[in-house]
Amino acid sequence: MILTFAGGVGGAKLAHGLSLCLAPAELMIAVNTGDDFEHLGLHVSPDIDTVMYTLGGCADRERGWGRSGETWNFMEALERLGGETWFKLGDRDIATHVERTRRLRNGEMLSAVTADFAEKLGVRHAIAPMSDAPVRTRVHTDEGDLDFQDYFVRRACKPRVRAVEYFGARDAAPAGPLNRAMSSPDLRGIVICPSNPLLSIAPILAVAGLRDWLSRRKVPAIAVSPLINGAAIKGPAAKILRETGMGANCSSIAQFYCGLIDGLIVDPGDVAGTRPPEGMQILSADILMRDDADRKRLAQVALDFISRLKSRR
């Protein structure tokens, strides 16, 4: 089994690539839920849905979020009534949120609801939230403290970021499916997808016990850089890394994962400038995923990297 940590569009793309290389029993995808929030009375799980729709073949590839073939009648009607329309919910997407909210209010766990939704969408590989307990990302900016979606969507990532906090993480345990994967004797490696380090991966690592487990694990762990030549492939990762003083380069990404991974995959143009911590190996590969073939190619590069690192242990 390969355990994957993912969040957002980049994470969903590589998770999809891994699903093209591995049998269902060989892959567990643990997804960030720090972005989850309640909107219009509905529980919205943006990263879970992005991963789920991507593996289910129904994601909107142009926007990078939501469902393909979407219509917007609900949002148009809501706007006419003066409702909040800053966070776009397509008509098909709303069905996911309505049913998720109903089931959560009836006492079901998010992990159980996610597994059932994924199965109904034709996803054969396991997808699970990082935790069934609520963890919420809060962004501290020069314009005040903002809930994640206020910063990310309503304010379009414009305020300058000073720090990022993950409320509830210390009291949150890994979700059952993730916990079982962590303790599985069949676990042979961990892949951290090219997701935003501070907004998508750090909330997962903040879940109680997870960072410590990752630092002590017995199998190889690797990450894929979300940057190419100092720029994010998608989203505000480079901006936030600069604003928080980490630096928007692959050396900063390597330092962020210091003690947690054995290897980092970076784009060929970034190899010369990457200074990894002692003991971390750097692998050069084209990390831009333009289509399904690229997703599968990069996934295979990651799996081969894990195999080589395992043989040296």
Label residue 6 by pLDDT band (50, 70, 90): very high
Q: What integer pLDDT is reported at residue 25 of this predicted model?
A: 96
Note the pLDDT of residue 135.
97
Strand boundaries in the chain, DSSP class E? 2-6, 27-31, 37-39, 42-44, 126-129, 136-141, 144-147, 161-167, 189-192, 221-224, 227-228, 231-232, 263-266, 281-284
Output the pTM of the full model.
Answer: 0.95
Helices and strands in the chain: count of H runs, count of E runs: 12, 14
Domain coordinates of the chain in residue numbers?
2-133+175-311
The CATH number of the domain covering residues in 2-133+175-311: 3.40.50.10680
To the nearest 10 degrees (0 to 180), the angle between helices 292-311 and 8-21 is 70
The 10s digit of each residue's pLDDT in 235-251 is 899 999 999 999 999 99
Average pLDDT in the 149-167 region? Answer: 96
What are the tens digits of pLDDT across the range 30-88? 999 999 999 999 999 999 999 999 999 999 988 878 999 999 999 999 999 999 999 99
